[in-house]
């Protein structure tokens, strides 16, 4: 069981270092405004929050597994995680943030390139108009 591997998972570290290699800088585990949640990577100027979701803890459609011992407890726990993810998403969107979620099974370099594309696009908008969400 992955019981203690909730932070700094190998996948999260791989995505972080790939993003860093692409020349972007970010905060790690930065508390998001208006919530007690923390994104794995936060790009504050661009208002982009990146989450790397563990396949077990967040019920990946491909790799979710449902322990048989204490089954009801695990289902409640995992469903609560998923519900909290959706709530985080909606709070952040309302605050003008862009969310990117990746599964831990995704290719880190590919994930990093998506992050870089989105962050750079939003930074250009900040330079052009002062806001990452302003229309072009």
Local structure of 86: helix, strand or coil: helix
Q: How far is the CB of 59 from Zn ion (least distance, A)?
A: 9
Sign for the pseudo-dihedral over CA of 7, 109, 19, 111: negative
CB-neighbour burial class of residue 127 (10 A; exposed 0-12, middle 13-18, buried 19+): exposed
Nearer to Zn ion, 31 or 67 (CB): 67
Q: In the complex, what is the shortest distance from the CB of residue 13 to Zn ion, in angstroms, rounded to a whole number?
A: 17
3-state helix, strand, coil in the chain (%, to 5): 45, 15, 40
Comparing CB distances to Zn ion, the nearer of 26 and 57 is 57
Q: Which of residues 103-122 bind Zn ion (CB under 5 A)?
A: 103, 105
Residue 77, interface with Zn ion (CB under 5 A)? no
With binding defined as CB under 5 A, does residue 55 bind Zn ion? yes
61 versus 130: smaller Cβ distance to Zn ion: 61
**Shorter beta-carbon distance to Zn ion: residue 43 or 56:** 56
Q: 8 in the Ramachandran plot: left (φ > 0), alpha (ψ -120 to 50) or beta?
A: left
Number of residues forming the site for Zn ion (CB under 5 A): 6
Residues 114, 127: Cα–Cα separation, whole Å? 20
Span of 3-11, 12-20, 41-49, 53-61 interacting with Zn ion by CB under 5 A: 53-61
Contacting residues toward Zn ion, per CB under 5 A: 55, 60, 62-63, 103, 105
């Amino acid at each position: 069981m992955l019981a203690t591997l909730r932070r700094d998972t190998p996948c999260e570290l791989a995505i972080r270092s790939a993003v860093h290699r692409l020349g972007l800088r970010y905060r790690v585990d930065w508390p998001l405004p208006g919530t007690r949640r923390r994104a794995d990577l936060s790009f504050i100027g661009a208002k982009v929050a990146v989450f790397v979701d563990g396949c077990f803890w967040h019920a990946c459609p491909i790799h979710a597994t449902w322990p048989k011992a204490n089954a009801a407890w695990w289902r409640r726990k995992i469903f609560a995680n998923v519900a909290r993810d959706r709530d985080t998403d909606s709070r952040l969107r309302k605050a003008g943030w862009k969310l990117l979620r990746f599964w831990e099974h995704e290719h880190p370099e590919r994930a990093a390139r998506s992050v870089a594309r989105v962050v750079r696009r939003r930074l250009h908008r900040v330079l052009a108009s002062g806001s990452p969400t302003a229309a072009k």
